[in-house]
Structure 1
Amino acid sequence: MGERADTAFNTTGSKWLLPVSEILGFPLDQVNFLACQLFALAAAFWFRLYLSPSHANPLVRHAVATLLGIAFLIFCFGWSTWSYLLVLYLSPEHLNCLFVHSSTYRYSMVTAMGYLTVCQVSRVFIFNYGILSTDFSGPLMIVTQKITTLAFQLHDGKAEERMPSLIEYLSYNLNFLSILVGPCTNYKDYTDFIEGQHISRRLRQHSGTCNGQNGYDKTPDPSPLSAVCKKLLICCGCMLFFLTVTRSLPITYNVDPHFVSQTPFLTRLTYAFFSIQAARPKFYFAWTLADAVNNAAGYGFLGMDENGKPSWDLMCNLNILGIETATSFKTFIDNWNIRTGIWLKTVCYDRAPRHRLPLTFVLSALWHGVYPGYYFTFITAIPITMAARTVRKSVRHYFLASRALKLSYDILTWAATQLAICYTVMPFLLLAVEPTLIYYRSMYFHVHIISILAAIALHHKHKPREPSATTKTFSPSPFSSSCSAQCQPVHSNNNDKVD
């Protein structure tokens, strides 16, 4: 018991909250993470009210955001913070002379991803933090996205004409609003926020004019308070669900020897379904809280919605309703970890000359880490995506003749999608090879077999079209920009979009 407790409460970061960790029974790294995010929420309100662009110049705002972000890293990860400083040697200040060459953005991609992989290998095989710990590689994944996003935008001419200064570069990558859990956003959006142009520019875009004569420049900025409160309520609901339901449906029970050998297939399938459903709220909690933190600072304004009310969903990283009601594999992916989807589309799918889908899934696996379960998940997703695409094209039109047929089709495809997602992401949570194979054998590899046969049988009828790299919304890819209206920018300068 003592050895297990030592492992559970181990961290390279601060141990000030160890008593709280022991009382609550949560690992210390998770307690530190939550404490920093709650402090970030309070600091974000202060940042918006007392360090607004009218009270402080951009240099001060950049410096404060950076210092707070570094403080969070030191508190959560201690000496591991050096890893962020080392990867930031990729600063455009060092690469300024190279950006005149067209291949430099590829250099940034290879170097950042290579360094991330080295750190993830060291975490898993050297430091052995254990399964699903909140460790230094998580924020490093976000920094990797930001470094490569900026490099690609500079190459594409979508960032500012000048190279960012060192403080701007550090602030974009290490600011306290997104350092721990993201999301990754456009560099130009972030600098607009720091300089006080974020809301006014989007209001002008909403009005369809940029001449400054629409009155938006003279009106007070809309308050994010209601949006923040709504998102915090969602966080509370997710936390309550986690404490009452998630803990009672452990993922590892899916590979328990007695359960696998003595339980009927339909019972195992049912438990797998509900255990995966129960595992989602912890992700909902983390991403929604991060969204609320950014909104509290005044960042994340999307524009005015169809009802003329301000929308604060620019930083939206998921659409819970879209996830839970998804009737296709693509729709699920479109609404899950949205900002990472944008990044994958930008740096891989739109640029790969061929084999876009498998390359993008492999990049996603590599970005997530080196656990074999990640590769099982994303490689399995390839034939499932292809099969779902071909089945939809071949079958769906037969069910559009009446509302009843359409409803029956939606119910059937919802069930098939949710079960396929359950089957696909189980290795992502089991992580290791042996439990993954135990699970797939207990499921008789049925989704693999069905999806491969369907993709082969129907492929000749509907060959997928290769989308244009300049097209914003591309139906054949799961890494699509067709997010729900809740999350989709109305007038975005993003290369949106694209786990």
Structure 2
Amino acid sequence: MEELAVSSFKTTGSKWLLPVSDFVGFPLDQVNFLACQVFALCAAFCFRLYLGPRDTSPLLRHAVAILFGLSFITFCFGWYAVHITLLVMVCYWILVIADTRNIHRYTMTVAISYLTACQVSRVFIYSYGILSTDFSGPLMIITQKTTMLAFQVHDGMSKKSEDLTADQKRLSVTSKPSLIEYLSYNLNFLSVLVGPCSHYNDYIDFIEGRHVQRRLGKPPGTNAGRSGPDEVPEPSPMAAVTRKLVICVVCMVLFLTLTKAFPITYNVDSRFVSEAPFLTRLSYAFFSIQAARPKFYFAWTLADAINNAAGYGVKGADETGRVSWDLISNLNIWGIETATSFKKFIDNWNIQTGVWLKTVCYDRAPRYRTALTFVLSALWHGVYPGYYFTFITAIPITMAARGVRRNLRPHFLSSHLMKLGYDVLTWAATQLCVCYTVMPFLLLAVEPTIDYYRSMYFHVHIISILTAIALSRGRQHGDGASCSSSNGTRPPSLQEHPPPSNNNLKGN
């Protein structure tokens, strides 16, 4: 069966590393991806050391970032890279010619439609079980960047300042980017393969040398009248990069051991489902989902390290002067593994996608914000039915979790022991709910998803819906009102952390 899968694998990318693929036993597209990311890490160090903003013009930095980015997607995807560059060019054409009052609508429609069309064609051409070159990852990142920039140009050029929120005002773009700036933002080698998405203003500040100064401010004794990128000494990213690379190594080891030991598909194995007790199946689901996470931890942490190596990602400094390099981090592993609520888990998982959803949907939807945001997230992820099962299931769970936090949590804050007991119970409930919710995301197809939920007796669906109904009296009227309340019920995954001041570092 393995030989059949390998022989049926097709790739449009480079085949230079095929001997390496055969030797290590990994698909060629994964080997190509890892090779490009390792090369990107080395290139990022050189980019910071030899093409820094103090000694190099922004034009050259943009050009080098684009050149490497195009090389990477061509190496990994071959002629499929045309899809990525075509979407970027079409969205830039819209940016140039469209009225700024509607530019965000046109860009969102085109980007999501093109992404969906590519994903649909891939699903029909290559069935669920057949490996093939997957270019949808970079296309998803491009969709985030093009649409978020279009919304920020719309805010900056067609809306009054008083009509914008504080975040929208800070992130608004008041002039249309040039072609090279647009291409660099979307296709730079730091994030073209796996992200993360970042704000346009932050990226341009990084290229032009204002990034560190904006985030750290002027050190004491700096001449206030002085200008230029050398006002603030650039902190070294070596400690942050080293720490993140160590995490990558650990995650790779876990992936090579635990992930293969706990295959997801065993959750719907007919013999296992029919013979194993419910608690055994529940336990296996928990461990198999835990084992599936390291590959995501690896990819996102490595991408973060690459950006840091180039000097991008300074978030702020605490009172001791310790610099945080987590501005565009896509996950907080500790926050994920210790989450005591569904919203805390989401808040620490795929963080930059949460920022994008907040920017283009959650903050702008007149009603049904949470539901519309989950729908957009499912549509962005792809057309596999499992994605929609996951995000639709997440809606009642999120509503139930808000109700529990609002109505029950205050009764457990009277003592440290009761609070500890509440945290332990909610941690276990959160992790089991996450396993139940994301299982279809990994199973992909309808039939195995229904088989799994049937084997679990749809218990989380039933419990979450009944809980949400029972606690609905405690909810404030309107989705928007409850999401902005002061009790912390707004999904943090859809909140953007404000930039830290010099003496107030707000980490993930």
Cα offsets for 1:48-69 (capped at 9, x unmatched): 1111122321111101100100
The equivalent residue for 2:71 is: 71
Partner Cα separation in structure 1 for residue 270 and residue 219 of structure 2: 58
Change (3 A) 1:321 1:465: farther
Deviation, 1:6, is 1.5
For residue 294 of structure 1, what is the aligned residue in structure 2?
307
For structure 1, the residue ranges without an aligned partner over 5 or more in a row are none
Structure 2 residue matching 1:245: 3-state secondary structure:
helix
What are structure 2's unaligned runs of at least 5 residues? 157-170
Separation in structure 2 between the aligned mates of residue 470 and residue 214 of structure 1, nearest angstrom: 42
Residue in structure 2 matched with residue 51 of structure 1 by the alignment: 51
One-letter amino acid matched to 2:81: T
Percentage identity across paired residues of the two chains: 66
Q: Report the alpha carbon displacement of residue 261 of structure 1 after superposing the two structures with TM.
A: 0.5
Q: Is the 8 A contact 1:93 1:166 kept in 2?
A: no
Match among 446, 462, 467 for residue 449 of structure 1: 462
Q: 1:340 to 1:205 in 2, by over 3 A?
A: farther
**Residue 491 of structure 1: how far off its partner (Å):** 4.8
Secondary structure, counterpart of 2:474 in structure 1: coil
Partner of 1:423: 436
Deviations 1:199-253 (A, max 9, x none): 122222898x994679994453111011000000000010111112111000000
1:353-394 Cα shifts (integer Å, max 9, x gaps):
111111100100000000000000000000000011111211
Q: Is the 8 A contact 1:288 1:317 kept in 2?
A: yes
**1:31-61 CA distances to partner (integer Å, 9 max, x unpaired)?**
1111110000000001111111223211111
Going from structure 1 to structure 2, the CA distance change for 1:216 and 1:137 (only over 3 Å counts) comes to closer
Q: CA deviation at 1:197?
A: 1.3
Residue 396 (structure 1) aligns with? 409
In 1, Cα distance between equivalents of 2:400 and 2:482: 23
Question: 1:463 aligns to what SS in structure 2?
Answer: coil
CA distance in 2, matches of 1:471, 1:210: 41
Question: What is the correspondence of 1:319-398 to structure 2 with a 5 Å cutoff?
Answer: 319-398=332-411
Matched, 1:247 2:260: yes
Q: How do 1:91-170 residues align onto structure 2 when only pairs under 5 Å count?
A: 91-100=91-100, 102-128=101-127, 130=129, 135-157=134-156, 158-170=171-183
Indicate whether 1:273 and 2:286 are aligned.
yes
Quote the offset at 1:167 in angstroms.
Answer: 0.8
- The DSSP-based 3-state class of the residue aligned with 2:217 is helix
The answer to whether the 8 Å contact 1:246/1:275 transfers is yes
For the 8 Å contact 2:482–2:490, the answer to whether it is kept is: no
Instruction: Name the SS for the 1:460 alignment partner.
Output: helix
How far 1:471 sits from its partner (Å)?
6.9
Are 2:118 and 2:136, in contact at CA under 8 Å, matched by a contact in 1?
Answer: yes
Instruction: Check the 8 A contact 1:390/1:458 in 2, yes or no.
Output: yes
Secondary structure of 1:295's aligned partner? helix
Aligned to 1:29: 29
Task: State which drifts further: 411-420 or 198-207.
Answer: 198-207
Matched, 1:223 2:223: no
Query: How big is each residue's C-alpha offset from its partner over 1:243-286, in whole Å with a ceiling of 9 and x where there is no partner?
Result: 12111000000000100001000000000001001111110100
Distance 1:301 1:134, change over 3 A: farther
Cα offset, 1:481, TM superposition: 5.5
Distance 1:233 1:83, change over 3 A: same
Superposition deviation, residue 424 in structure 1? 0.1
Tell me, in whole angstroms, the C-alpha distance in 1 between the residues paired with 2:198 and 2:185: 9
Match of 2:214 in 1: 201
8 Å Cα contact 1:467/1:474 also seen in 2: no
Contact 1:150/1:186, CA 8 A, preserved across alignment: yes
Change (3 A) 1:131 1:285: farther
Does the CA-based 8 Å contact 1:206-1:304 persist in structure 2? no
Question: How far apart, CA to CA, are the structure 1 residues paired with 2:491 and 2:471?
Answer: 19
Aligned length: 489
Question: Residue 351 of structure 1 contacts residue 469 of structure 1 at CA under 8 Å; is this kept in 2?
Answer: no
TM-score using structure 2 length: 0.91
